[in-house]
Amino acid sequence: MAPERHQAVAAGPAATRRRADARRSIAAILDAALASLSTSPEVNVAEIARAAGVGRVTLYGHFPTREALVDATVAHAIAHTSRALDAVDLESGPAPQALARLATSSWQILNQHRQLMAAGMRHLGTERMRAHHDQALDRVRALLARGRADGDIRTDLPADWLITTYYALLHAAAEEVNAGRLDPREAGHTVAATVTAALRPPP
Amino acid sequence: MAPERHQAVAAGPAATRRRADARRSIAAILDAALASLSTSPEVNVAEIARAAGVGRVTLYGHFPTREALVDATVAHAIAHTSRALDAVDLESGPAPQALARLATSSWQILNQHRQLMAAGMRHLGTERMRAHHDQALDRVRALLARGRADGDIRTDLPADWLITTYYALLHAAAEEVNAGRLDPREAGHTVAATVTAALRPPP
DNA sequence: CTTAACTCGAACAGAGATGTTCGAATTAGG
DNA sequence: CCTAATTCGAACATCTCTGTTCGAGTTAAG
């Protein structure tokens, strides 16, 4: 009778244990929202529900508002990305090489989430986005710190700017590949060469 | 009686000579649209009209649809930018220095139009945007070609990618300043140093 | 098997945005 | 001064999106 309780999906540890089909629906919705929002940040909720193979009412049953859905989707994407990047070895070898490895491993996935992040910015505000993003940035931050200590990374510019440079170049490469202006097979090497040059200590 | 004829503003050379107050209205609308769309690409037409100090009906009199308005605003912004960048000396001295001059002169203005470009992308499609943008890119393209001929700019990566790198770093700097994470007074020097390093021939 | 949880389509209410129409009041231009 | 161009507010029709409600059917779980 009262099937939808608007129990926030991202609820705390006291969250009610959901039934198997409910969990299946939620997973399908998050996947569909991730895919849909990543290609077009303005899709409406009905479209996302359709893509998830789920009724619109069901979606609203799990995510009370569009904002809640976007928020949960962003969290989902962050977790997804973080898991994928955990596989990259950042410890061994000089920092620039490790950075190149990280770059070649992550430019595609970062691009996939680019539009989603735009949607998040618009609907959730900068603050909430920044908190999520920082988690991913820490990975690079630590690596750059090691490189600076070893003298392999330039120290004449702010550390935050170097991180920004890294991400900006990754995003740019992904965009260029997307637009067909850069060969996907060359992209990894190209972005690595550019990042390395940009972050190398000046002569 | 029939005051609004929906004569396209961007009409060809045979465009009807408009009265002075009409031209004033159009200018006010374009300025307001530029400002409004630049800060928030989703503003509605009513808001733009209000910002222009003009009735909504008047706006629709000159721009038959929202799309036509966005299109005209983009053209307006491109012209504005191009005029501002014409003042930069790109001929004298080594290409990297000229590039640094161009960078420090243009990162602010590029950022101001960033959101507008996003709106254009969404409402006009990639094609129409790309055509406009290419005009501005040519300026950099020529400069990089000169630098490559002189041996001041790297030739181991595609020329188009170097252009992309340049713009990506400019946009990133503008974003960082916007977010308060980069000192505006440092931004010019910072972005110039980074661009120079990224485009320098590798050792 | 029994019950509570879940799903679903259809339909509704409300908000907001886009364009249009009308009629009256200004205003530029010759 | 005369006329046609222009502006304006108010009101209307239409569309799309969000979020809700209802009632009936389906499914997991014990």
- Model confidence at A19, in pLDDT bands (50, 70, 90)? very high
pLDDT on residue B58: 97
Query: Which tokens hold the place of A158?
Result: 């702010």
Interface of A with B in 137-166 (CB under 8 A): 154, 156-158, 160-161, 164-165
Lowest mean pLDDT among A28-37, A122-131, B3-12, B58-67: B3-12
Query: Which positions in chain B touch A159 (Cβ < 8 Å)?
Result: none
Q: What are the domain boundaries of chain A?
A: 74-199
Task: Confirm if A37 and A116 have CB atoms less than 8 A apart.
Answer: yes
Nearest protein residue to nucleotide C20, judged by CA and C1' positions: B57
Task: State the nucleotide closest to B20 in CA–C1' terms.
Answer: C28
Nearest to A172 among B165, B175, B193 (CB): B165
The residue written with tokens 């930018």 in the block is B81
Specify the amino acid at residue B160. Answer: D
Q: Give mean pLDDT in consecutive 10-residue pieces for chain B, a chain of 203 residues.
A: 47 64 96 92 94 96 95 91 90 93 83 78 76 81 95 96 92 83 90 95 93
Contact A165 B194 (CB under 8 A): yes
Which amino acid is located at A128 in the chain?
R
- Cβ(A30)–Cβ(A73) below 8 Å: yes
Question: What CATH class is the domain A74-199?
Answer: mainly alpha
The pLDDT of A122-135, averaged and rounded, is 77
| pLDDT (average), residues A51-63 | 96
**Of all protein residues, which has its CA closest to the C1' atom of D17?**
A44
d(CA B162, CA B168): 10
- The CA-atom distances, in angstroms, between A90 and each of A95, A114, A145, A169, B140 are 8, 24, 12, 19, 36
3-state secondary structure of B3: coil
For testing the chain B interface, which of A117, A164, A175 should be mutated: the one with the most B CBs within 10 Å? Answer: A164
Whose CA is nearest the C1' atom of nucleotide D20?
A57
Chain A contact for B18, CB < 8 A? Answer: no
Tell me if A115 sits within 8 A of A37, measured CB to CB: yes
Beta carbons within 10 angstroms of residue B102's beta carbon: 21
Q: Which amino acid is located at A65 in the chain?
A: T
**CB within 8 Å of chain A, chain B residues 37-96:** 42
B159 half-sphere exposure, CB direction, 13 A CA radius:
12
Can you identify the CATH homologous superfamily of domain B69-199?
Tetracycline Repressor, domain 2 (1.10.357.10)
How far is B147 from B166, CA to CA, in rounded Å?
14
Tokens of A177: 């590949």
Which contacts qualify for B21-24: CB closer than 8 Å, 24 or more apart? B22/B62
**Mean pLDDT across A89-110:** 89
Q: Contact at 8 Å (CB) between B11 and B44?
A: no
Q: Which amino acid is residue B93, in one-letter code?
A: G
CA triplet A177, B125, A70: central angle to 5 degrees? 75
Distance between CA atoms of residues A148 and A157, nearest Å: 11
Interface touch B190/A161, C-beta < 8 Å: yes
Which pLDDT does position B77 carry in this prediction? 92
Q: Are the C-beta atoms of residues A29 and A48 closer than 8 Å to each other?
A: yes
> Which residue's structure tokens are 């299109």?
B71
User: What SS3 state is found at B152?
Assistant: coil
The residue whose two tokens read 């992040």 is A117
Residues contacting nucleic strand D by the 7 Å CB criterion are A 1, 3-4, 6, 19-21, 44-46, 56-57, 60, 64-67; B 1-5, 18-19, 21-22, 24-25, 53-58, 61-62
Least confident of A103-107, A112-116, B48-52, B103-107: A112-116
- In Å, how far are A33, A82, A107, B124, B176 from A102, measured between CA atoms? 27, 12, 9, 35, 23
First and final CA of chain A: distance in angstroms? 73
A168 to chain B, any CB pair closer than 8 A? The answer is yes
Residues of A in contact with B168 (CB under 8 A): 168-169, 171-172
Give the closest residue to A98 by CA, choosing from A61, A135, A106. A106
Third-level CATH fold of B20-65: Arc Repressor Mutant, subunit A (1.10.10)
**Nearest residue (CA) to C1' of C16:** B44
